[in-house]
Chain A
Amino acid sequence: MRTHNIRTVCLIVSMVFYLLIGAAVFAALESERESSRKKAVEQKLKEMKEKFGFTDSDFTQIETVALRSEPHRAGRQWKFAGAFYFAITVITTIGYGHTAPCTDAGKAFCMFYAILGIPLTLVMFQSVGERINTCVRFVFSRVKHRLGLQKTDVSMCNMVLVGLLSCACTLCIGAAAFSHFEGWSFFNAYYYCFITLTTIGFGDFVALQEKDALQKRYPYVLFCFTYILVGLTVIGAFLNLIVLRFLAISIEEDVSSENQSSEPKDTRDGPESEAQTQNLQCKEDTLKLLCSCLCCDADYYSPAHFDPDEMGGHCNPVFYNSISYRVDQLHIVPSTPQEKVIHLTLR
């Protein structure tokens, strides 16, 4: 329990520091440019006002019209294609804001739509991501087998590397495509893909907003939707590999700590102490995991930690730390049958 509180406090503190550092760096990078741009635009505005002889109220009129027609300039946003695009940005939580519902009914429906859609999408991406990871692990072990390597186990390092590579490839493919179709520079297109696939979705760059693409260029529209969904799956797979275990560690610890604190039952004295030992071991391992997640040391857990007899009658819940690669340990093709048997009994 205490470890968990400490971890939570540490995370909060590190996030606050991270925000402060980020704010300082962004301020340093953007502040000057902002003030110089502001001056330039205001100067230009002054010139135009003089040129056309506008009063302030005149200009306000023009301003209102200009601002309100901004989304319309990009094309019909609420026909089916545009609405589908919008629905994607809602349930994936990208939320560009290039269009937003203006009717109150639209806003209300948007909220209900999100309430159900966001969990569905989260679960879906994690589900598909896990399948992808399993498939990759299998393919990788076969490749290793073919290459005649001695150890055909797929380590965490391998998986992380493949994950990183696939994310980078996805971003690069998207960047190439969008820089071609939208006329952005490669860097801006890459930035767009990154901001989209991390679901931040600023909306400073939005695809399908040029030349009425939503209504006219159906193959491109299809490509965009597919790219966003597939890209999110790839990122989801990577998150499933790396981050989900940390999200789920809390669950496991909570359960085991609850077991400790629940009212003692007379018939369960034996398993209680076993649960405690288990608990401590579990904490040890999770901390170890936290520290060494990406190191190859974490790959080969000493199986001696988990003596099945000790955990006999009391079912400690599923050990989520390194779910996917624990499974991996049983997937492996051992070189000798004896190895496999040993693995099993030690588990």
Chain B
Amino acid sequence: MKRQNVRTLALIVCTFTYLLVGAAIFDALESQKETSQRKELDLKKLKLLSSFNLSTEDFDELEKVVLQLKPHKAGVQWKFAGSFYFAITVITTIGYGHAAPSTDGGKAFCMLYALLGIPLTLVMFQSVGERINTFVRYLLRRFKKCLGMRRTEVSMVNMVTFGFVSCMSTLCVGALAFSHFEGWSFFHAYYYCFITLTTIGFGDYVALQNEQALQTQPEYVAFSFIYILTGLAVIGAFLNLAVLRFMTMNAEDEKRDAEQRALLAHNGQAGHVHCSMDPGSPLSTPSGCGGVSGVSASGAASRGLRNVYAEVLHFQSMCSCLWYKSREKLQYSIPMIIPRDLSTSDIEQGDGYSNTLHSNGCVCSLQRHSAISSVSTGLQSINTYRRLNKRRSSI
């Protein structure tokens, strides 16, 4: 099966397993407390009912009123400051829910607002995050030079460590500030910052809801907004560094596959070049492509085996990919590796393949677009594979 499909299936299975395991653990941690709390509250309710001589309907009515009053008690939510806070929670997708539009017009505008605002914000944070990473890389390099170190390149490990440390410090700074201003414990304030900056935004803890802060404490309001946006930029930088490359992996591999198919088509029997997709399996490498019909049957099988092997290697390397050095060192190794690799990978495709590759200059395009992934589909030594995957790590 194609690498992308294997990867996708594996991710789906992982996510489901993760959900199941998480559900089980949350159940174990919270279920008991929930039961005991419930009992306690029921008792309290009975006591209140009896002491105030209320019926259950009365109590329900009171409950309703209390719940309706809840957002109002936290302050005026929809004056400009509150609306700005709300707008932030919408486009960053935090979505506390401490205030939510009650008018239909508000709801409709909220949806339209989010439609444009969320992509804008995503792109903005990634852009800023990338700038931050570049700047940090520059600083670290200078720092290394100052320290008189011989190798002043900034490795992935350095960057990830720095990113992680900056995330932790952002959370700690926020925790300190909010525990002071909101009167929460440090742990709860940290939990609040974490839930906010990961954009989960439960709303169990929400800043600016005490003592009419939105209207009466403009400096604290400004601090909160700046903290949320800056914190999201820092987290965004870390995501840009560590996660974004994984999100583009499938597309990259798809590109590589397409290049290979194109090369096959180009170098296949002249005059029989037609690339018709295999109707039975839209997502597998079309075996008829390039008209290498004679070789295709056996080629497909060996390709299949090769792909599985490649997947295994790939997964192994994915785990270790963060431990390799920066791209500057690696690009020089690639031109030397590709030609040899292509010849090994193409042995199964047919003879005379490697020769034609060099002559028509298609090596360049393959090199350019799929240097990383093309190698991985060949049966080569782990060394070369690892060296090439360093490049992937630094995308």
| Residues of chain A with a CB closer than 8 A to B68's CB | 37, 41
Kindly supply a per-residue 1/0 record for chain A positions 312-341, scoring 1 wherever the CB is within 8 Å of any chain B CB and 0 otherwise: 111111111001101100110110010011
A215-264 CB contacts (< 8 Å) to partner B? 239-240, 242-244, 246-248, 250-251, 254-255, 258-259, 262
Stretch at the interface among A42-50, A153-161, A294-302: A42-50
B239 at the interface (CB under 8 A from A): yes
With CB as the reference atom, state the residue of chain B lying closest to A37: B102
Number of chain A residues whose Cβ lies closer than 8 Å to a Cβ of chain B: 151
B382 at the interface (CB under 8 A from A): no
B187 at the interface (CB under 8 A from A): yes
Q: How many Å from the CB of A172 to the closest CB on chain B?
A: 13
- Indicate the member of A20, A123, A246 with the most B CB atoms within 10 Å: A123
Interface pair A48/B97, CB less than 8 Å apart: no
Interface pair A78/B88, CB less than 8 Å apart: no
With CB as the reference atom, state the residue of chain B lying closest to A265: B332
Quick one: given A255-B395, A308-B361, are A105 and B29 in contact (CB under 8 Å)?
yes
Quick one: given A22-B91, A83-B24, A87-B19, are A201 and B78 in contact (CB under 8 Å)?
no
Q: How many Å from the CB of B76 to the closest CB on chain A?
A: 7
B242 at the interface (CB under 8 A from A): yes
A143-195 CB contacts (< 8 Å) to partner B? 187-188, 191, 194-195
Interface pair B95/A202, CB less than 8 Å apart: yes
Quick one: given A83-B27, A109-B26, are A93 and B198 in contact (CB under 8 Å)?
yes
A280 at the interface (CB under 8 A from B): no
- Complex CA–CA separation, A58 to B246 (angstroms): 57
- Complex CA–CA separation, A152 to B75 (angstroms): 59
Return the contact of B101 from the options A29, A68, A201 (Cβ within 8 A).
A29
| Residues of chain B with a CB closer than 8 A to A86's CB | 23, 26
Interface pair A199/B199, CB less than 8 Å apart: yes
Interface pair A255/B327, CB less than 8 Å apart: yes
Interface pair B282/A250, CB less than 8 Å apart: no
Interface pair B239/A201, CB less than 8 Å apart: no
- Complex CA–CA separation, A69 to B12 (angstroms): 36
Interface pair A89/B66, CB less than 8 Å apart: no
With CB as the reference atom, state the residue of chain A lying closest to B394: A255
Kindly supply a per-residue 1/0 record for chain A positions 100-117, scoring 1 wherever the CB is within 8 Å of any chain B CB and 0 otherwise: 111111111111011011
With CB as the reference atom, state the residue of chain B lying closest to A337: B273
Quick one: given A42-B69, A308-B364, are A77 and B328 in contact (CB under 8 Å)?
no
Quick one: given A131-B250, A318-B370, A334-B275, are A95 and B29 in contact (CB under 8 Å)?
no
Interface pair B65/A11, CB less than 8 Å apart: no
With CB as the reference atom, state the residue of chain A lying closest to B251: A323
Stretch at the interface among B114-122, B216-224, B300-308, B340-348: B114-122
Return the contact of A23 from the options B83, B203, B395 (Cβ within 8 A).
B83
Q: How many Å from the CB of B122 to the closest CB on chain A?
A: 6
B89 at the interface (CB under 8 A from A): yes
With CB as the reference atom, state the residue of chain A lying closest to B63: A66
- Complex CA–CA separation, A124 to B188 (angstroms): 30
- Complex CA–CA separation, A20 to B360 (angstroms): 56
B181 at the interface (CB under 8 A from A): no
Return the contact of B77 from the options A34, A306, A334 (Cβ within 8 A).
A34
Stretch at the interface among B3-11, B309-317, B350-358: B3-11
| Residues of chain A with a CB closer than 8 A to B70's CB | 67
Interface pair B22/A66, CB less than 8 Å apart: no
| Residues of chain B with a CB closer than 8 A to A198's CB | 93, 114, 118
With CB as the reference atom, state the residue of chain A lying closest to B271: A337
With CB as the reference atom, state the residue of chain A lying closest to B372: A318
Interface pair A100/B204, CB less than 8 Å apart: yes
A211 at the interface (CB under 8 A from B): no
With CB as the reference atom, state the residue of chain A lying closest to B133: A254
A31 at the interface (CB under 8 A from B): yes
B152-206 CB contacts (< 8 Å) to partner A? 187-188, 191, 194-195, 198-204
Interface pair A127/B249, CB less than 8 Å apart: yes
- Complex CA–CA separation, A108 to B30 (angstroms): 12
Q: How many Å from the CB of A37 to the closest CB on chain B?
A: 7
A60-112 CB contacts (< 8 Å) to partner B? 61-63, 65-70, 72, 76-80, 83-84, 86-91, 93-97, 100-111
- Complex CA–CA separation, A317 to B61 (angstroms): 65
- Complex CA–CA separation, A69 to B42 (angstroms): 8
With CB as the reference atom, state the residue of chain A lying closest to B229: A15
Given contacts A106-B33, A191-B107, 5 further A-B contacts (CB under 8 A): A26-B87, A195-B114, A309-B361, A314-B331, A323-B248
Report the 8 A-B pairs with minimum CB-CB distance, sorted nearest first: A95-B200, A200-B95, A97-B202, A202-B97, A22-B87, A97-B203, A84-B23, A203-B97
Q: List 26 A-B contacts (CB under 8 A).
A: A11-B124, A15-B121, A19-B91, A29-B101, A30-B83, A63-B66, A78-B34, A97-B204, A107-B191, A111-B195, A114-B200, A119-B246, A127-B4, A131-B5, A134-B283, A139-B282, A191-B107, A195-B114, A203-B203, A247-B122, A258-B134, A306-B365, A315-B335, A327-B254, A330-B259, A340-B265
